[in-house]
A and B are shown apart, each in its own frame.
Chain A
Amino acid sequence: MKQILHEIRRALLAKTTILMMIVIILIPALVAVTSISSVNYSDSVNAKGYAEGQNLTFTISVYVYSNAYGTPIFGETVNLSISGHNYSFTTDSAGYANTTLHSYNTSEIANSSYTYDQVPGESSTSLREGIIMLKPKGNPYFTCSKPIFDQNETLYSSRYTICPAQINNDPKLYGILVTYQPSNLSNFPNISMYYITDKKGILTSGGTGYTVYGPIDYLNNFTKELGGSNYNESEMKYFRTFKSQESMVISPVNLTTNTNTSDYIFEFFSSNGTEVGWIALNLSRTTSPNAVNSLFFKTELPMLSLFVPLLAMLSAFLVFGRDRVTGVLSTVVVRPISRRSVILSRYMASVGAVFVASLASLGLSSTLFHYLLGTYIPLSSILLSFWALAVMICGFSGLIFFASSIMNSIGKIIATVMLAFFFFDFFWTFYALPAIPIFVSTYLLNQNYGTLEYLRTQAILDYITPSGYINLITYLQQHNVYTIGLASYPVSEIYLTFPLVVAAGLLWIFLPLLASLVSFSRKD
């Protein structure tokens, strides 16, 4: 027992192992972390269009911006349709598309609408919005909008909108995107934003607070309706003041430090203290376990499946192959211990070291995901991928143990390691460059991407190398059907049944080990 501990300690402390462990632990985690922004934020385009003028001359100003980040979008085409005519104009670097029209009356302008691409450059997703007349009505902070224009004008739309947005410095916190009549047109008086933590539970009692459109909603009236007591507005803290024509994301980082709640009430006042409107926002942002899971499967697992086999094989070489060739192993073999125990203890040590590294990597990235996104990788995914990694570790370690027990030169063993890495791991299964599967199915067998034959070939290839095991369990994760492109097939049609995959895993765990055991105990 003490001997095995010594072997494990020795395997763990080898310089190369430590270096590879650092690679294994850090790179996949880094890849996962850097991909967080790209995978998680669904960024789309929003627009606000205003019109101002009189008689037959109107200026139209459409502001196009990202609703995730609040940043203006340059070069977006806006198609205005007015009384059967179409006009196209493009946003400038500040996100404004402006034009002046000379032959339409107020009613025609108010009934006009425009389209813009929700995903820049993809006209299939264009949205239509109405133009908002800027002409002040009654309360200067509100304007009337299309459907009720020229009617009794009792419904108003605020000149400002508020919605949650992404902020780059903290993916666990929402920013607040405030737009206050973003246009190149007339200015309006400033409004000031005040805040207080939502101690009275307006958010939890159902008040989402997105009272952006509609009649003026006074906070205390609203809380009364909910049966709560009034907020004392004089206790609210000043946050900042907005000018009209502004559109920005404000980061609530300063305001959330040292509080343990993320529910806030924001209220807007005019410069003379008139209440303009309010909003209740939960600023804490969590990513769904599903999103974290798919992030993990898409980014971290492929990295692990690239590096873990390499570490497993290097460790097998350092712990067994090199010692056997240099004669260091003989100083142990000569002791009162069976040859089987010698190779087994070395195997345990080597495999154990890589297990530790893989577990550390999984643990670290789960912790990082939680720290950055507020959600751990689901335990079932961790266990499943650990099983897959274990299969790969045992498979590749066993292969190198076997090679080490029949080869008598360091060069040959290293060549075997490199060959196995490039052939059975890198070119076979690494998602960025799966050259071998592509070559086999496309060029050798002339199969088309996405056909059943193609998928079957891929599955068989994944059974042939231990590194394909990650793919096998990834397919199985898609439950009973495997979807590729537009086609779906039952997984059983592509040899991906639960018993088969489990059997393959057990085979990879035990077969190479058994082969090296037999070869080391029976011959030199």
Chain B
Amino acid sequence: MSMSRRQRKRAFRAVQYGVLALVVVGMVFGADWGEIRRAFFDLDVAQAQFPGIITTALVNTVVYTLLGFGFGLALGLILALMRLSSVPPYRWLATCYIEFFRGVPALLVFIALGFGVPIAFQVVINQYVTVMLALGLVGAAYMAETIRAGIQAVPKGQVEAARSLGMSQGRAMRSIVIPQAFRIVLPPLTNELILLTKDSSLVYLLGLSLGQYELAKFGRDALNENRSLTPILVAGLCYLIITLPLGHLVRRLEARTAKAR
């Protein structure tokens, strides 16, 4: 009963392949392929989604995401600077904000902004503004921590060199520290963009007009119409069109940063 290490390794690998083969065979013969094809890969239904799913839904998803990201980035930068402020109340405020918005589900923020605020204050807010605020408020909490870490990663000698040349604290921050911090945080910020792209699906909660549909809402409506999951699959693939290149970009940026060190 004594196997050499190599033999044991080989036997273990054989077992792994065996299990995989069983699962595949089971799926090929066990599953009802006609049913699955009809449910997921109905070509007619898939074709019917075009071009609307691209020209309206995909475009709206990108627009919502960028609105949220832009607002979140600006707010996140302000929060990061507040976290680093020498005035304690600013630090406390920023910390409370960050802890709160990282802690509550984005879904609740959407409901609060989409329904709560209009009812409570008797105001009508433009849908795009609502989306920008909801996505941005949540994204800012995460981006603030990322940016703060990036600012702190810039060596102290950089500020000293800038101040020695007569730059004020603010000028040194704007011209020297923040540009370097942004290079450091570019990969994690791109990750945040990917997360926001997916979070933008929460827009489906809000009452939208047809032209405002984004991918998730578009797929969901088509699902009801066609009694087929195909539109959901197509919508999913559309998300990948956005997120896969971004993921690739993150890896490239990380490799570049690693090389620069």
A binds B: no
- B residues at A contact (CB < 8 Å): none
- A residues at B contact (CB < 8 Å): none
